[in-house]
């Protein structure tokens, strides 16, 4: 590490980042490791046949002491990147940003599905029936326009959103699935397992309910603030109700 410090002397970042009267593009990158994560934004400017790409800004953080998984750290890096993009390009069309982020998410999930639901995808693309041992069989999976595997279900005629009608399948133990759940748990302000399970409005983790419950039961804040229900001691029941007698020996009426 120290031997590489000398290289810094040769590093130069011109302060003039764009060509005059040029068209601009913002290219941003982020990455994470177990020790740190960071993001940078470069400006690519193009004018009269000349193109330059210059570093515009960058930011890095050391990873928190609490051990996080790489996907969690990568999400942190993505968040840092979004902040950086906002600073670098305040005028950027937010709608487009969201669109691009959605596209990225779809691409990521698609590649995960290709690894974890290979057989199902193969069968659906070939319009064949799913293998009998498939866990998705009862959910009548379908392929959407982007090639994502979604729950088929029976809500075809309801007027809820497409995502809610056909949530996207996620494999049970994938780090992304594990990262999405705490995200929704925080988003719903630490609601119980049932409310957190409403992340199924968009995603369908295979074998979900149990996993959601595990997120909730592991939360220290929820455990601390959990109210204790009052328990009442039952009084003694009257003699007539606890001693055997012929039918209709004792009768009563409630007004």
Q: Cβ closer to Zn ion: 37 or 185?
A: 185
Q: Cβ closer to Zn ion: 66 or 249?
A: 66
- The edge-to-edge listing of strands for the beta sheet with 142-143 is 142-143, 149-150, 168-170, 203-205
Q: Cβ closer to Zn ion: 151 or 180?
A: 180
Residue of 32, 162, 181, 176 lying closest to 110 (CA atoms): 176
Smallest separation (angstroms) from Zn ion to the CB of 185: 7
SS3 59: strand
Distances (CA, A) of 228 to 31, 138, 146, 231, 235: 44, 39, 48, 9, 22
Q: Cβ closer to Zn ion: 82 or 191?
A: 191
Smallest separation (angstroms) from Zn ion to the CB of 179: 16
Q: Under 8 Å CB-to-CB from 55, ≥6 apart: which residues?
A: 13, 17, 40, 41, 42
- Footprint of Zn ion on 38-77 (CB under 5 A): none
Q: Cβ closer to Zn ion: 123 or 195?
A: 195
- Footprint of Zn ion on 185-224 (CB under 5 A): 190, 219, 221-222
- Identify which range of 164-172, 184-192, 206-214, 230-238 contacts Zn ion by CB under 5 A: 184-192
- The edge-to-edge listing of strands for the beta sheet with 23-32 is 23-32, 36-47, 50-62
Smallest separation (angstroms) from Zn ion to the CB of 153: 30
SS3 136: coil
CB 53 within 8 A of CB 14: no
How far does Cα 248 stand from its chain's mean position? 63
Smallest separation (angstroms) from Zn ion to the CB of 221: 4
Q: Cβ closer to Zn ion: 68 or 219?
A: 219
Question: Is residue 123 at the binding interface for Zn ion, with CB under 5 A as the rule?
Answer: no
CB 212 within 8 A of CB 181: yes
What mask of x and - would describe binding to Zn ion in positions 221 to 240, judged by CB under 5 A? xx------------------
Smallest separation (angstroms) from Zn ion to the CB of 174: 23
Smallest separation (angstroms) from Zn ion to the CB of 189: 9
Binding site for Zn ion (CB under 5 A): 190, 219, 221-222
């Amino acid at each position: 590490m120290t031997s590489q410090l000398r290289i810094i002397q040769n590093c130069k970042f011109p302060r003039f980042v764009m060509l005059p009267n040029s068209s601009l593009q913002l290219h941003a990158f982020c990455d994470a490791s177990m020790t740190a994560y960071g993001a940078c934004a470069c400006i690519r400017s193009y004018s009269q046949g000349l193109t330059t790409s210059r570093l515009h800004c960058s930011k890095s953080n050391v990873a928190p002491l609490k051990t996080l998984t790489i996907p969690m750290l990568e999400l942190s890096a993505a968040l840092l990147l979004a902040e950086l993009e906002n600073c670098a390009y305040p005028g950027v069309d937010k709608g487009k940003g969201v669109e691009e982020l959605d596209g990225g998410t779809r691409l990521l999930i698609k590649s995960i599905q290709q690894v974890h639901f290979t057989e199902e995808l193969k069968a659906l693309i070939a319009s064949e029936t799913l293998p009998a041992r498939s866990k998705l069989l009862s959910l009548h999976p379908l392929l959407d326009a982007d090639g994502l595997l979604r729950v088929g279900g029976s809500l075809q005629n309801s007027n809820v959103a497409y995502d809610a009608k056909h949530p996207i399948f996620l494999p049970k133990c994938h780090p992304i699935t594990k990262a999405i759940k705490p995200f929704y748990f925080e988003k719903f302000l630490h609601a119980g397992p049932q409310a957190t399970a409403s992340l199924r409005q968009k995603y369908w983790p295979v074998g979900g309910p149990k996993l959601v419950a595990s997120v909730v039961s592991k939360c220290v804040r929820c455990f601390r603030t959990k109210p204790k229900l009052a328990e009442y001691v039952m009084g003694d029941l009257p003699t007539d109700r606890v001693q055997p007698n012929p039918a209709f020996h004792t009768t009563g009426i409630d007004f």
